Amino acid sequence: MRNKIIVALDMRGLDNIVKLVDDLNDKAVWFKLGAVNFTAYSDRVIKALKERNKKIFLDLKYHDIPNTVKEAVFSACEIGADMLTVHAIGGVDMMSAAKDGVKAYEDKYSKKGAKILAVTILTSFNKQTLKRDMFLDRDVEGVVTDLAYNAKKAGIDGLVASPQETPVLKKIFGGYFSIVTPGIRLPSSNKDDQKRVMTPCEALKSGSDYIVVGRPIYASDNPLRSFENILKNMEEVC
Ligand code: C5P
């Protein structure tokens, strides 16, 4: 079960990141690096995680012309990403190119490359901003579903989905995609800026394969105990 928890390393300071990873010792397997910490610490943070045999979810949300994405994905595999994200809005050709990048890595090194996840519509968008900024006069859910169909066409392995989207995506696509869900909180914890949340157990029940948890672990007085409480919620309550 602990393989299903991805700890988001959204705090500042490489020392703080390494301390958290060490405090969680063997319990935590997966860690998420995003634009903030990867831009700041790049190969140093990757090296620190790999030296500790951790799995890396590189959440850089690639969105560019297909060839650039292919090359970026190849490089991400080379530095040790085990899972990474692309924007589904980049199109079927771009997502297929991401998969080609993984294949090129696997052919060159005879090793398994990263799993590719598609991000559909960011949760910071709503129906109004979708129309104003992307000129799409549609419900968010319909666009999310159509982008997921595109991801399937491109052979993408999984989707990042909010707690609200996971059940409908599972209903349509069954077990085809691995689903990674952020916005996870225990009933007792602070929601921070997350508007809609689910408990770890609810996320599993609604079909999430992985949950992403940041502040409830890294901003806690006792990160290891917080991680264990999340695990307990998944193992015992569920
Ligand atoms: O601290 P918290 O648990 O809210 O962190 C959630 C993580 O998941 C953050 O890294 C955030 O950027 C990411 N995320 C999210 N909602 C999305 C996509 C990603 O919270 N829709």
Tell how far the Cα of 210 is from the centroid of ligand 1, in angstroms: 13
Nearest ligand 1 atom to the CA of 8 is: 10
- Residue ranges in the chain modelled with pLDDT below 70: none
Determine the pLDDT at residue 112. 98
Question: By the 8 A CB rule, do 52 and 7 touch?
Answer: no
- Predicted confidence at residue 95, as pLDDT, reads 98
Closest residue by CA, ligand 1 atom 2: 214
Type and span of the H or E element at 218: helix 215-218
Task: Identify the structural domains of the chain with CATH numbers, from first to last.
Answer: 2-237 (3.20.20.70)
Alpha-helical segments (H) within 52-196: 66-79, 92-109, 127-134, 140-153, 166-173
- The pLDDT of residue 75 is 98
Atom of ligand 1 nearest to the CA of 160: 18
Q: What is the pLDDT of residue 11?
A: 92
pLDDT value at residue 123: 87
Give the bridge partners for 212, in sequence order.
Answer: 6
> pLDDT at position 193, please?
81
Position 72 scores a pLDDT of 98
Residues serving a catalytic function are 61
State what percent of residues in the chain have pLDDT above 90.
Answer: 91
